[in-house]
Amino acid sequence: MRDAYADQLDSIREDLLSMTRLVGTAVTHATSALLDGDASVAEQVISDDAAIDALRVKIEDHSFELLSLQNPVAGDLRMLVASLRMVSEFERMGDLAVHVAKIARLRVPDLAVPDEVVPTIARMAAVAEVMIAKVGHVIADSDVAAAEELEQVDEEMDKLRRSSFRELLGSDWKHGVEPAVDIALLGRYYERIADHAVSIARRVVFLVTGEQPTYVD
């Protein structure tokens, strides 16, 4: 019976890793749609979000079942509670990827991102993708050191967000209000994806140590 219970906990962890991969793919494809002006890829991101939502429901149902039937304590209890919180973070990350895809789709056949802002947005997307991949590693290996490193990566995202604001508020901005709004929103979406990645990593630190990380703001 105990082996079956352990297998069920492992299954939840594997589902969390699957959710990480789905979110990472969504962000990658949404960025591709954005920078290439590809409506079909944008539509695919929007459609595939249902799989992320379905996996959230599966993990929640499984976690609640174990909470009610197994009466877990200590580390197992932290694992299940953390899982319930992490899936909400992952779902929001998927929703943010959808928001990026919707901006891309809205501007087709044009591109939402002016040429001079492409490097900043592309780098924000790359940082977000790196952070999602690191989250997968943190979950798979319960790696507290890697979780702490995410805080440092997030600082780059914050700097990029400020840089994007400087570009669209600069006196040489010539693209008008609509593209400025798009860039402001896109910066916010990628920044929030990064914030959710950091939040998940902090939950893993709590899961492993039983204590809130000291570097939390």
pLDDT bin (cut points 50, 70, 90) of residue 33 is: very high
Half-sphere exposure of 9 (CA within 13 A, CB side): 20
Instruction: Give the model's pLDDT for residue 216.
Output: 44
Q: What angle separates helix 177-209 from helix 74-107, to the nearest 10 degrees?
A: 170
Q: What angle do CA 181, 21, 46 make, to 5 degrees?
A: 45
> Does residue 43 have a pLDDT over 50?
yes
> Does residue 114 have a pLDDT over 90?
yes
Q: What does the longest C-alpha to C-alpha distance in the chain come to?
A: 68
Q: What share of the chain is helix, strand, coil (3-state, %, to 5)?
A: 85, 0, 15
pLDDT, tens only, 203-213: 998 888 777 66
Instruction: Determine if the peptide bond prior to 109 is cis (ω within 30°).
Output: yes
**DSSP label of 37:** T
pLDDT, tens only, 129-171: 999 999 999 999 989 999 989 988 999 999 999 999 888 888 8
**DSSP label of 81:** H
> Does residue 217 have a pLDDT over 60?
no
- Quote the CA–CA distance of 81 and 72 in Å, as a whole number: 10
The whole-model pTM stands at: 0.91
pLDDT bin (cut points 50, 70, 90) of residue 76 is: confident
**Would you call 216 helix, strand, or coil by DSSP?**
coil
- Quote the CA–CA distance of 148 and 161 in Å, as a whole number: 21
Q: In CATH, which superfamily holds the domain spanning 2-209?
A: Phosphate transport system protein phou homolog 2; domain 2 (1.20.58.220)
Q: Residue ranges per domain, the chain?
A: 2-209
- Quote the CA–CA distance of 93 and 203 in Å, as a whole number: 16
Average pLDDT over residues 90-99: 98
Tokens of 177: 């209000």
Cβ burial of 187 (10 Å; 0-12, 13-18, 19+) is buried
Q: How many CB atoms lie within 10 A of CB 109?
A: 6
Average pLDDT over residues 163-186: 90
Cβ burial of 30 (10 Å; 0-12, 13-18, 19+) is buried
Of 98-102, 193-197, 201-205, 213-217, where does mean pLDDT reach its minimum?
213-217
Average pLDDT over the chain, rounded to whole? 91
> Does residue 46 have a pLDDT over 90?
yes
Closest CA to 53 of 94, 111, 7: 94
